[in-house]
Structure 1
Amino acid sequence: MNKFVLGAVAAMLASAGHAAEMGAVDEPIKLAVNEWTGQHVTTHVAGEMLKAAGYKVDYVTAGMMNQFQALADGDLHATLEIWSSNVSDEYAKKIGEGTVVEIGDLGLDAKEGIAYPAHVEELCPGLPNWEALRDCAGVFAAAETLPAGRLVDYPADWGTPGADRMKGFDLPFKAVPAGSEGALIAELRASTEKKSPLLITFWQPHWAMSAYDVKFVDLPEGNEECFNDPAWGTNPNATHDCDFAPSRIFKASWSGFAEKWPAAAEILTNYQLAVEDQQPMMGKVDVDGMAVEEVVAAWMAENEGKWKPVVDAATE
């Protein structure tokens, strides 16, 4: 039984006999849509669950880093896939103010790190050990980074975790932000087709991990001491000389959400999505070219047992 079903059972037991009030059903619930395909899938599944419950839903494009002010102001009402490894300081500020509230984990098992397509091990012997990168940085050099190696980092709006590691380990690499998730995929595709060197900041779950046989660089385990104390680790002059923190993926809402839409708040709080469900949907969008709406609609029709109990527990 996966986490989604366990969450559904818990919701049913907790809510038996006292379904929440629906609230302002005539006003649309505005869900934030961020910059990556997995988040689109996550958000549309949640939105379709709310629609099935009888709510109106608007999907609103919002930058991952700057969405929290809109949440605090009530201009957005919920965001469904926040990664702990690159959440902004603004989020912590809004949580502290009480204008944004956390509404539970999404349930995805995730990892982020510095990565490369498997063939790169032939170009940089010693990988996946991170120390190999010091000796073969020149292999990864590009016109824009010479003489340093090139690391393709997350889009600028997602933070700079790759650049932080290059500085932390004092590696001769320059981090170049990708323009989008699509640009990251294009880099992986080109490297795989040409058997060319590539170092990239990436994550799982993602369909590209298997499509392009992506591997993570082995780094010392990440922890709070590493992130805050330069004396920890191999570089006494910098923090982040370690791996990414284990990623927690969670949800948040406007502080007034539960009062305005009680049943919807219960649905989103109990909503979880398993990697086994999200990742194939991502592949259908990014590889097969299907629309997110079409992919999610098909999944919803085929998997009522995974999401409908959560809706029913909140509304019946």
Structure 2
Amino acid sequence: MSKSRFFKFTSGSLVAMLVAIGSGAAQAAEMGAKDEPIKLVMAEWTGQHVTTHIAGALLQRIGYKIEYVTAGGYPQFTGLADGTLDVTLEIWMNNVGDIFPKVLKEGKVEDIGQLGLQTKEGWVYPKYMTDVCPGLPDWTALTKPGCVQALTSPDTFPNGRLLDYPADWGSRSAQIIKDNNLPLTTVPGGSEGAMVAELESAVAAKKPLLMMFWAPHYVFAEADMGWVTMPPCKSQDNDHCINPPEVHKVVWSGFKGKWPAAYEFLKAFRQDAASQQQMILAIDRKGQDIDTVVNAWIDQHQAVWQPWVQEATR
């Protein structure tokens, strides 16, 4: 729905609309400090950008001011803890490092629940690699000399190379490799974009590649990829294992008191993998502007997001 056709809410009209559509709701939450911008964290991957821009666009149309702030995977928690950042909407809970549990325990941030994103994470490979690594997807195929040789690079010789997440995302692969004595060495990717570029180059040249990756992502709509059946995780701490992660929403501890209606909205806010993957494809492969893609989704899915707004009446 275009901005010209979208019902623009003031704090008063928001309350009136919520009372009208929120059957049985007794009172709408207060808007709070609607003249102060809510600072939303922008992380390093497109899927998170989509999630954040959908929430931001709807908050703006409700009547809030929004500011998008770029922050790294771990540094964002420091900003949320001291109130210089307000919201981060796509925290993959198996990749939070040590800072998040600390500030959560101290009550400086609040976990406001799961995003609802259906996820997958692990080691992936182009399926043509079964020619040089017979036995895939079983992880033991990665120990065979021919497979190791195919994956070897100058910086990992004599081990095979595993393209890992960027350094500030953390690495669980290195510990799993060590625990299982695998002939592999992790090499951190520079960014999501750099990892995808290397994958696309490898696929075009039919070159062997093993990499840590996640879904939802548009690459799985374009390349025939396999998921390795992972080796055992022997860590006493499950956070160091590689499993399909939960994805949570986190806010600064003072958020609810400052922006009550926005807090209720964000608690109700959800994102599904199928929708996100299509939007990622439109942005990263088709070159469409993220605001255009997000506004189109909002236009076509009022029945999806209207209940999130209704939650602000509770």
Q: CA deviation at 1:141?
A: 0.4
Q: CA deviation at 1:65?
A: 1.2
Q: Is the 8 A contact 2:165 2:171 kept in 1?
A: yes
Q: Sort the Cα spacing of 1:217 and 1:90 in 2 relative to 1 into closer, same or farther, 3 A.
A: same
Cα distance in 1 between the residues matched to 2:212 and 2:180? 15
Correspondence 1:113 to 2:122: yes
Match of 2:26 in 1: 17
Q: Sort the Cα spacing of 1:295 and 1:69 in 2 relative to 1 into closer, same or farther, 3 A.
A: same
Match of 2:236 in 1: 228
Cα distance in 1 between the residues matched to 2:175 and 2:283? 31
Match of 1:251 in 2: 249
Q: Sort the Cα spacing of 1:126 and 1:87 in 2 relative to 1 into closer, same or farther, 3 A.
A: same
Correspondence 1:206 to 2:214: no
Cα distance in 1 between the residues matched to 2:40 and 2:60? 12
Which shifted more, 201-210 or 33-42?
A: 201-210
Q: CA deviation at 1:88?
A: 1.5
Q: Is the 8 A contact 1:134 1:171 kept in 2?
A: yes
Q: CA deviation at 1:173?
A: 1.1
Q: What whole-Å deviation, never above 9, does each CA across 1:262-313 have from its counterpart, x for those lacking one?
A: 0000010110011121110011111111122221111111111111231244
Runs of 4+ in 1 over 6 A off after TM superposition: 12-15
Equivalent position SS for 1:281: helix
Query: In the alignment, which of 118, 121, 146 is matched to residue 157 of structure 2?
Result: 146
Q: Specify the code of the residue in structure 2 equivalent to 1:202.
A: F
Match of 2:60 in 1: 51
Equivalent position SS for 1:124: coil
Match of 1:158 in 2: 169
Cα distance in 1 between the residues matched to 2:24 and 2:84? 29
Match of 2:5 in 1: none
Cα distance in 2 between the residues matched to 1:262 and 1:172? 53
Q: Specify the code of the residue in structure 2 equivalent to 1:274.
A: D
Correspondence 1:309 to 2:307: yes
Q: Is the 8 A contact 2:174 2:186 kept in 1?
A: yes
Cα distance in 2 between the residues matched to 1:286 and 1:315? 37
The normalised TM-score by structure 2 is: 0.88
Q: Sort the Cα spacing of 1:131 and 1:14 in 2 relative to 1 into closer, same or farther, 3 A.
A: farther
Q: Specify the code of the residue in structure 2 equivalent to 1:183.
A: A
Q: What whole-Å deviation, never above 9, does each CA across 1:77-133 have from its counterpart, x for those lacking one?
A: 000000012111100000000001001100011011011111111121111110110
Cα distance in 2 between the residues matched to 1:47 and 1:114? 32
Match of 2:288 in 1: 290
Q: Is the 8 A contact 1:116 1:217 kept in 2?
A: yes
Query: In the alignment, which of 267, 270, 274 is matched to residue 265 of structure 2?
Result: 267
Q: Which runs of 5+ in 2 are unaligned?
A: 1-20
Q: Specify the code of the residue in structure 1 equivalent to 2:141.
A: A
Equivalent position SS for 2:91: strand
Equivalent position SS for 2:94: helix
Q: Is the 8 A contact 1:154 1:202 kept in 2?
A: yes
Q: CA deviation at 1:22?
A: 0.4
Q: Is the 8 A contact 1:152 1:199 kept in 2?
A: yes
Match of 1:4 in 2: none
**Identity fraction in percent:** 47
Q: CA deviation at 1:15?
A: 7.8
Q: Which runs of 5+ in 1 are unaligned?
A: 1-11, 233-238
Equivalent position SS for 1:69: helix
Cα distance in 2 between the residues matched to 1:14 and 1:204? 37
